[in-house]
Amino acid sequence: MYHPDGEEVLNGHANVTKFDTFEEQEIIDFLTNNKVDGIILRAPAKITPPILDACEEVKAISGAGVGLDNIDVAYATEKGVRVLHAPKTNSQATAEHAASLILAAMKDIPQFHKETHLGNFGYRDGKYTRELYGKKLGLIGFGSIAQKVAKIMRFGFDMDVIVYVRTIHEERKKLAKSLDVELTLSMEEVFQKSDVVSLHIPLNDKTKELIDHAYFEMMKPSAVLINTARGGIINEKDLGSALKNGQIHRAGIDVFSTEPPPPDHPFFGLDEAILTPHIGGISLEAAKATSVIIAENLVKAINGEELETIVNGRELAKK
């Protein structure tokens, strides 16, 4: 759980077993030999078909965030297991983290920090940071996190903001007007025109490794790429090459296709890559609220209550 308060809620309703390792067979053995009513998991743990085959008593499974790419939802539905996601209680935290990575990349904070600690104060000579004022921010996606990033950067730093969306309808036009941002149906336009591109789309079959060398080639050499969404939406090898070859200036990355990333990951060793270990959504405030809501909703789902956060509720009702 993200916070002890969530564990306290669970402990008040159930006997809780915590796993610190995520070996598939270990989880299957436990499910086979124990009566388990519900499961909560955080990445990098996964709920796979073999695990679901062992979920004879399980009534509900909850992810610890909005994304459910680590749960086989379709197979869980076949097995009659409710799948829950967490409500968007961490959108402010994630938006602030995206903004922090933008600032770190544009101001080159990690490199200046490292050199200052080494006593190399003269590292600053001949080097310049860059202002955000008047620069163009491109957002890929326009969900709650992207909207908050737009608000922070538009009204806090006076950046021009362009947003890629798949459809433009009246409600979205009104939202864009309230945030003073431009909408476009062309993702290419965002990559070509932006000084900073920030990714805010889910990971699925259509978006897996969607952002690859073709998009990096469109970007300005001075541009920055930010990813606080899901690591798998980027072709990480292509991005590593783009950074190494000076094709783009910097990348701020909070998520990886495999977490934790392997020792030979293409971002490691690159000063151009600013890396954090998937911490965007776990501010103290968000962690506390999220953990409690996840725990409370899981208990309700196990007891048969209907909840908006049950993602496969309609499909299960048809069975």
Residues taking part in catalysis: 230, 259, 278
169 near 189, Cβ under 8 Å?
A: no
C-beta neighbour count of 154 within 10 angstroms: 16
227 near 252, Cβ under 8 Å?
A: yes
83: left (phi over 0), alpha (psi -120 to 50) or beta: beta
Helices assigned H by DSSP within the chain: 4-11, 24-33, 49-53, 73-78, 91-107, 109-117, 144-157, 170-179, 187-193, 213-218, 236-244, 284-302, 313-318
227 near 254, Cβ under 8 Å?
A: yes
d(CA 221, CA 193): 12
What sign for the dihedral angle of Cα 164, 260, 107, 100? positive
d(CA 251, CA 105): 7
Q: Which phi and psi angles does 267 have, rounded to 5°?
A: -85, -25
Q: Quote helix, strand, coil % in the chain, to nearest 5.
A: 40, 15, 45
Cis peptide before 260 (omega within 30 of 0): yes
